[in-house]
Structure 1
Amino acid sequence: MKIGVFLPQGWRMDLADIRDPVEKYETMSRCANEAEQAGFDALFLYDHFHTVPTPQLEAVFECWTSLAALARDTSTIRLGQMVTCNSYRPPSLLAKMASCIDVMSRGRLILGIGAGWYQHEYEAYGYEYPETPDRLRMLRESLQVIKAMWTEDEATFDGRFYKLRGAINEPKPVQKPHPPIWIGGGGEKVTLKLVAQHGDACNFNADVATVRHKLEVLREHCATVGRDYDSVLKTLEFYTILGDKREVDRVVADHARRTGQDESYIRSWHPLHGDAERIAEIIHEYAELGITYFIVNVPNAAEGGVFSRFAAEVFPRLGLEAGVKQA
């Protein structure tokens, strides 16, 4: 089992109490180093430009430029996106960016990718927002383009949406044959089939019953395309608040004040909250399904000390050791 963590980045208004944008980034960097020292396997960023649930005049740090900086601010923790939006960059450019960050981080990059969904953001930034079937077809082609750019001397591709003509991508990634590709989303007809065909990992954010069903669908797709089901890393992301009821109430109220959101909306993010025993118990429920990688999102991480506490209290209940790099 491995545990990763989302950094405060601004997307969920988690840096709103910090006015100076330079200090906002310094907080991100401090949290990254705290997570590394606490023994988390990887840090993850969202790939969004506007806050949720509604766009606010609040800083949101761009995913890939931030990862490039964090690659140099850290030394051992892996670096991922959950997930990068396929539509925001041509896949050839994305492959180039990913290669460079894998080199800059000495082989620590995870490429998380999805078809994209935040329509308001697309339109605000001038991106066309294709219908869902086309976004998924674009994702399918992108996965092929990215792998070609990572593994071929001169990549050529002739697709409906993307074309390459002898594209050279140097430097190649440090990781061989290439950095792991995590495909986000649980669409049963297309997305999970893409995982079986092209992905190294799937990612879910759902209750136990739903995840159980999605994994069965993935198993069927793997059988159809001749993929070893056990070779796919199964991952889950979840929002959590560690503490007793009083502490949970404080964090929720503080986040509501900071963001102007209803407490009921904030609580809906956090099905996994409570003391360390409770959190570990729910993680074990998912682990019994075959989930072996968990990514936690803690709304008050910018306060400092939150990742260290999670590692100290929860890791031992999962058979992990706080402060030790996960093997």
Structure 2
Amino acid sequence: MELRVFTEPQQGATYDDLLAVAREAESLGFGAFFRSDHYLAMGGDGLPGPSDAWVTLAGLARDTSTIRLGTMMTSATFRHPGPLAISVANVDQMSGGRVELGIGAGWFEAEHDKYGIPFPATGERFDRFEEQLAIITGLWATPADGSGSFSHDGRYYQVTDSPGLPKPTQAKPPVLIGGVGKKRTPALAAAYADEFNLPFVDEETTKAQFARVRAACESAGRAPEDLVYSNALVLCVGADEAELERRAAAIGRELGELRENGLAGTPEEVVDKIGRFAALGSERLYLQVLDLADLDHLRLVAADVMPRV
């Protein structure tokens, strides 16, 4: 099981806060540093205010050296597909080929209202999302030697004879798609994703949704094992109950609830729960780290959990 660090900067973080976590995660051997793509805090004042995901990742691309970097998830409502393909390719070049694009249809209406971003109805958001996936991956796949171009004539986006430049350093940055939708989400994952992620769900939901995605792959003529399957869970690990209570209180959560719904407990408890998700087919866990100042939390996981999973 690969363990990755996942942060929520809209809750209150400077670039330096994120850099400290990313560098610590890199030095400890975590597989990646991911950040959310949100513009509004979900509770609390969010000070000093939100940061743009791809601006932040561009900085981290130059200020780190080996750890992979990505979003969970960039909202398709925030950006046009052509400029997003350019941004991701640029950051991939800046990082030497370490970038991954997690992308979704968008869901948090309040942040759209607060920052003047249109928020269409659910059906339209998914239609736009599907077109964005086609355009972004199509632009990256267009030959760099000028022997071809990319066009797309969609309902919401039209692209005419694009050279598809710039190119990412990777042949194709991995694309992550996630969610619990029963039909359209698995179909989109089968068509476009390199990884399918389930955020903050239990084992029963994980088992059922992974099965839907595998079935969608088979229906599309794609081998289900071509995808990486992953989960995201809030992290709260402590060497003893006192440390656990302290860490739960620091993020405003109740320890019993975290044990049930997150990845919480002693290292032994956490290793056992990771094993249960692995048995369901999960290959990566994104550890949602909410107290960015508590680097000892990451050190504990790296020392007492990571070697055992």
Question: TM-score higher than 0.5 here?
Answer: yes
Q: Is the contact made by 1:241 and 1:270 (CA closer than 8 Å) also made in structure 2?
A: no
> Is the alpha carbon distance of 1:265 and 1:46 closer, same or farther for their aligned partners in structure 2, counting shifts above 3 Å?
farther
CA–CA separation in structure 2 for the residues paired with 1:279 and 1:38: 18
Aligned to 1:37: 27
Match runs of 1:87-126 below 5 Å: 87-126=77-116
1:102-140 Cα deviation digits (max 9, x unpaired): 100000010100000000111221122111111111111
User: Which of residues 241, 246, 251 in structure 1 aligns to 2:242?
Assistant: 246
Aligned to 1:325: none
> Is the alpha carbon distance of 1:88 and 1:32 closer, same or farther for their aligned partners in structure 2, counting shifts above 3 Å?
same
Q: Is 2:222 aligned against 1:227?
A: yes
> Is the alpha carbon distance of 1:12 and 1:266 closer, same or farther for their aligned partners in structure 2, counting shifts above 3 Å?
farther
- Count matched residues: 302
Aligned to 1:271: 262
Q: How far has the Cα of 1:267 moved from its partner?
A: 4.3
3-state SS of the aligned residue for 2:287? strand
3-state SS of the aligned residue for 1:188? coil
CA–CA separation in structure 2 for the residues paired with 1:76 and 1:207: 32
3-state SS of the aligned residue for 2:234? strand
Aligned to 1:84: 74
| Structure with greater contact order relative to length (CA < 8 Å, sep ≥ 6) | 1
Give the alignment's Cα RMSD to 1 decimal: 2.0
Relative to the length of structure 2, the TM-score reads 0.92
Q: How far has the Cα of 1:270 moved from its partner?
A: 5.3
3-state SS of the aligned residue for 1:170? coil
User: Which of residues 183, 195, 202 in structure 2 aligns to 1:201?
Assistant: 195
Moved over 6 A (4+): none
3-state SS of the aligned residue for 1:202? strand
Identity %: 34
Q: How far has the Cα of 1:8 moved from its partner?
A: 5.5
Structure 2 residue runs of 5 or longer lacking an equivalent are 144-148
Q: Is the contact made by 1:8 and 1:28 (CA closer than 8 Å) also made in structure 2?
A: no
CA–CA separation in structure 1 for the residues paired with 2:291 and 2:56: 20
Relative to the length of structure 1, the TM-score reads 0.87
Deviates more, 1:295-304 or 1:265-274: 265-274
User: Which of residues 259, 283, 306 in structure 2 aligns to 1:292?
Assistant: 283
